[in-house]
Amino acid sequence: MPELAGLAPKGTRRMGANPHANGGVLLRDLQMPSYRDYAVEVPTPGVRGIGDTRVLGPFLRDVARLNDAQRNFRVFGPDETLSNGLEALFEATQRQWNGQTLPTDECLAPTGRVMEMLSEHQCEGWLEGYLLTGRHGVFNCYEACIHIVDSMFNQHAKWLKVTSNIPWRRKLVSLNYLLASHVWRQDHNGFTHQDPGFIDVVVNKKAEVVRVYLPPDTNCLLSVMDHCLRSRHYVNVVIAGKHPAPQWLTMDAAARHCAAGIGIWDWASNEGDQAPDVVMACCGDVPTLETLAAVSILRAHLPELKVRVVNVVDLMKLQPHTEHPHGLRDAAFDALFTKNKPVVFAFHAYPRLVHQLTYRRANHDNIHVHGYKEEGTITTPFDMTVLNDIDRFHLAMDVIDRLPQTGDKGLYLKRRLEEKLVAHRTYIVRYGEDMPEVRDWTWGRRSP
Amino acid sequence: MPELAGLAPKGTRRMGANPHANGGVLLRDLQMPSYRDYAVEVPTPGVRGIGDTRVLGPFLRDVARLNDAQRNFRVFGPDETLSNGLEALFEATQRQWNGQTLPTDECLAPTGRVMEMLSEHQCEGWLEGYLLTGRHGVFNCYEACIHIVDSMFNQHAKWLKVTSNIPWRRKLVSLNYLLASHVWRQDHNGFTHQDPGFIDVVVNKKAEVVRVYLPPDTNCLLSVMDHCLRSRHYVNVVIAGKHPAPQWLTMDAAARHCAAGIGIWDWASNEGDQAPDVVMACCGDVPTLETLAAVSILRAHLPELKVRVVNVVDLMKLQPHTEHPHGLRDAAFDALFTKNKPVVFAFHAYPRLVHQLTYRRANHDNIHVHGYKEEGTITTPFDMTVLNDIDRFHLAMDVIDRLPQTGDKGLYLKRRLEEKLVAHRTYIVRYGEDMPEVRDWTWGRRSP
């Protein structure tokens, strides 16, 4: 009957033709500030920063500001915008809140562009819907808590994989996770908050849609986040610190390093144009700090040792290029990690992930990974690394174990380092904080 | 004041002394039927079963029945007791339901011992509370959906790890997951329901508290579940099928195989007392089926080839004994997998997990794993294996690729197998079901 047929919606009112069901059609590029304007000065490697995400905050604030008119950028998270160091956002916008307010409430507004609810599920669902309808966003979350949405992430990644092969579907903005309160700085919340396994779930999904970044300092974080916010149809996971921490790279160096995704830090290495005796690899901010501290010990006490430092920002560089679009070709991997020298690898997350990514590499048998091994409690920040054998002393001792040519001098140093571990233990039990030589250690200052 | 001090509870009414807060104190062993009484007859390997969990159902029914008086056994799950093949439970008990009932309701009772709610979170929370207060239970769930409780599992595993070192805490019953509708038989639900990654989350937790079992047939499932229900203070993950599938082992053989956790299936191998040319390893019910079908093709067409079949029930056997209490010593691992022969490994879940567990083994470079690689849709059961290169034809072709000594005869067979894959594709598009030679394939009958 024509009168019934006439009830059917027409044109873009039809479900399948509704542009909101193909969000890429509605998508407008973000207006982006220049991330370089937020750079921290790094006159020499090792200068103290205020916390990587605390510098990212003003950058995100200005992204929110620049896109206020086109109303297509939001930041989502449980109740952690402040706790993750992104307080600057509230200079430009507020938490969206349509209900009653009390005089004691802070940063609430019916027009806010920060979406907070202490339900990771709700935040993930909001953000997915926002992206699917053609907008831009970031999910900031504690690293351990993001496991709560593993299953939702899985479904979104599957959706991205399938739709990327459907010609009429336009690409969406990437789903960006910023995991800003991570395993190594949960010394105060304790064991329940220590879980770096989300990226193990992520890398199981189709390589073409997943990306994992572990910027070692503030300038790298700025470069990575700028890249992620501009990318399309991926899931990007960015793991970053919020605590005061040493800064390694100038903005120019950081931009180059992040573009490469992995590289030798010549300024920290001493092998020159010769083959190194050992490769000290690191991935993540705390592992990078501990690796450089270990390198400084080794170079001070065993100066004849040729040490190469390799830092990994883009985790998927480790995988063969046949497995992931970012993967290094074997020749490039071998040029970094050698074909036959020991590699002592300090890794942010569970060690097995590095083996899982590198098992096809020529030098895999020589790669010895230190990472989180499910040890931890409420303790000091440095003790978290000690409990998991990823601290500077264990790393340096591992190098000595792998290099018999360090001989008696090496064994002597190893005994001194074992003593350091005992001193550490004694000190934290007595004073409840880390030894001054650990807290105040700075790259380039001779270690005791 | 004495009258206020007198309000404080005394003895076991104090929070810290309440026996319900130390459930192991209240724990009573389950009354267990003999699992051997539920065995299926396997006169020859390859006889058709009715679905592995459908035989487990009567066993669980009788566990429920035998413990009805002591009221300490429950089965938890979203809405999948029937769907996972455990319908026999309703002969002994009902779904617990305290609300109003309608004439169309089925299997509801205020005294039921099956706890169903379509919320994996609720089921997990119920079960954890039940275990923590000294009772016994099983969580049955679709494999892909169990990711929903990743984060809750993580916390329970951390709790088990910490409390196992506290002397006054008595051990609890293990948290038993039965994942009964798995990735390879989600051909009807499609890509969203295909995710075998929960065990990747599980193996990140402390080795002393996690166990993963993939019984290849009904009798093995009975043996494994009997073991899990008796175990203490672990998380056990059991992955099993519910669809009619071939049966391989008699009850005696199954009990021996599960006690070992891994072993050579002599009846399927033909290397005798010589070294094999290739090891065909399999883990999981569908990978085992496809491996044996591949073996039958290879043995029929390349009879001079010496093929060894290794089946893995207890996944953690693959890890070194220094990493997991169940891990094989290197000599035992090498005795199964050789030190230098190609291993074509058909694995239930994401292939990288096998590499992650075996990277320290002597023969690791020769282990070639086929598993789920995030390909799938709504299709036929066999096509799910084809899409992920884990089907009999791809496995046999991989063996030929790894063994140049198969020569022209091997290459000839490979071309025939490539034709089979084309025929498969053509047939399923036309008929919507698998080719009769695939559906009706039986071990011991000469393959075409």
DSSP characters over B118-139: S-HHHHHHHHHHHHHTT-EEEE
CA distance B297 to A318: 37
Q: Which residues contact B419 (CB under 8 A, 6 or more apart)?
A: none
Distance, CA of B267 to CA of B276 (rounded, Å): 14
* For A372, nearest residue in chain B (alpha carbons): B204
Structure tokens at B223: 């043996």
* C-alpha angle B439-B440-B441 in degrees, rounded to nearest 5: 100
- The tens place of each residue's pLDDT in chain B, 448 residues long, gives 999 999 999 999 998 889 999 999 999 999 999 999 999 999 999 999 999 999 999 999 999 999 999 999 999 999 889 999 999 999 999 999 999 999 999 999 999 999 999 999 999 999 999 999 999 999 999 999 999 999 999 999 999 999 999 999 999 999 999 999 999 999 889 999 999 999 999 999 999 999 999 999 999 999 999 999 999 999 999 999 999 999 999 999 999 999 999 999 999 999 999 999 999 999 999 999 999 999 999 999 999 999 999 999 999 999 999 999 999 999 999 999 999 999 999 999 999 999 999 999 999 999 999 999 999 999 999 999 999 999 999 999 999 999 999 999 999 999 999 999 999 999 999 999 999 999 999 998 754 4
Cβ atoms within 10 Å, residue B111: 11
Provide the pLDDT for residue B16.
83
Chain B neighbors of A192, CB-CB under 8 A? 155, 158
Residues of chain B contacting A359 with CB distance shorter than 8 Å: 355, 359, 364
pLDDT at B448: 45
pLDDT band at A187 (very low <50, low <70, confident <90, very high): confident
Q: Nearest-CA distance from A374 to chain B in Å?
A: 6
H or E element in which residue B430 lies: helix B407-431
Interchain pair A355, B350: CB under 8 A? no
Beta strands in A143-293 (DSSP E): 175-181, 210-213, 235-239, 246-247, 262-264, 278-283
Query: What burial class does residue A7 get, using C-beta atoms within 10 Å of its C-beta: 0-12 exposed, 13-18 middle, 19+ buried?
Result: exposed
B204 interaction partners in chain A (CB closer than 8 Å): 195, 197, 200, 350, 352, 374
Q: Which of B356, B359, B374 sits opposite A206 (nearest CB)?
A: B374
Q: Residue with structure tokens 């490469």?
A: A260
Q: Residue A11: left if φ>0, alpha if ψ -120 to 50, beta else—which one?
A: left
Determine which of B118, B165, B183, B355 to mutate to test the interface with A (most A C-beta atoms within 10 Å): B355
SS3 of residue A201 by DSSP: helix
Percentage of residues in chain A having pLDDT higher than 90:
97
Mind listing the pLDDT tens digit for each residue in A69-111?
999 999 999 988 999 999 999 999 999 999 999 999 999 999 9
- The pLDDT, as a whole number, for residue A46 is 96
Chain B touched by A164 (CB under 8 Å): no
Using a CB–CB cutoff of 8 Å, tell me whether A150 touches chain B. Answer: yes
CA separation for the pair A406, A395 (Å, rounded): 15
Nearest to B307 by CA among B261, B338, B339: B338
Report the alpha-carbon distance of residue B184 to residue B381 in Å, rounded: 7
Q: How confident is the model at residue A448 (pLDDT cuts 50, 70, 90)?
A: very low
User: Which of A37-41, A123-127, A443-447, B181-185 bottoms out in mean pLDDT, i.e. has the lowest?
Assistant: A443-447
Chain A residues touching B161 at Cβ < 8 A: 374
Selecting from B151, B197, B356 the residue whose C-beta is nearest the C-beta of A355 gives B356
ipTM associated with this complex: 0.93
Q: Do A154 and B147 touch (CB under 8 A)?
A: yes
Q: Which amino acid is located at A142 in the chain?
A: Y
Average pLDDT of the residues in A175-201: 95
Per the confidence metrics, is the pTM higher than 0.90?
A: yes
Between chain A and chain B, the number of residue pairs with CB atoms below 8 A apart is: 76
